[in-house]
């Protein structure tokens, strides 16, 4: 089983609300995460993707990127704050992406090893099937050592 499949299986039990929305990790590697969510079942009263669904597909990237980039036996991720700006109506399935560069990954890992936790900022972009940006997020996450 590959990393993306393992994450999706884990999401079904650890974050059942995201799983019920149809949020799926589609790419996960050191420094990069992508997730999708379908329009079907996630519309609102005027036929676009519900704002909370857009928030969820973007927010989940902090966990995906942390698990793909750091030792899950030592660390777990959490979100501390997430700001979202909706830039266009979302009328199709969505894909969210975020990345961290290698220098930032090393900083996070070193700080978490030394202090038991490390804050990091993650910016994400949510796009529709045509590639139009429908939302952007700016999140403050934390990588925390188990037992802290």
Fold exhibited by the domain 3-145: Thiol Ester Dehydrase; Chain A (3.10.129)
- Predicted structure pTM score: 0.95
pLDDT at 138: 98
**Domain extents in the chain:** 3-145
What does the pLDDT average to over 13-29? 96
Instruction: Calculate the average pLDDT of the chain.
Output: 96
Contacts of 78-83 spanning 24+ positions with Cβ under 8 A: 78/141, 78/142, 78/144, 79/139, 79/140, 79/141, 79/142, 80/119, 80/140, 80/141, 80/142, 81/139, 81/140, 82/55, 82/58, 82/137, 82/138, 82/139, 82/140, 83/137, 83/138, 83/139
What does the pLDDT average to over 131-144? 98
């Amino acid at each position: 089983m590959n990393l993306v499949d393992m994450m999706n299986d884990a999401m079904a039990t650890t974050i059942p609300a995201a799983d019920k929305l149809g949020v799926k990790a589609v790419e996960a590697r050191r420094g990069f995460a992508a997730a999708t969510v379908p329009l079907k079942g996630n519309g609102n009263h005027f036929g676009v993707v519900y704002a909370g669904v857009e928030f969820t597909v973007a927010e989940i990237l902090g966990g995906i990127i942390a698990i793909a980039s750091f030792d899950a036996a030592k660390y777990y991720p959490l979100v501390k704050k997430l700001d979202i700006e909706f830039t266009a109506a979302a009328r199709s399935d969505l894909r969210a992406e975020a990345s961290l560069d290698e220098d930032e990954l090393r900083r996070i890992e070193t700080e978490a090893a030394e202090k038991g936790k490390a804050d990091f900022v993650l910016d994400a972009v949510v796009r529709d099937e045509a590639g139009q940006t429908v939302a952007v997020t700016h999140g403050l996450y934390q990588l925390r050592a188990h037992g802290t």
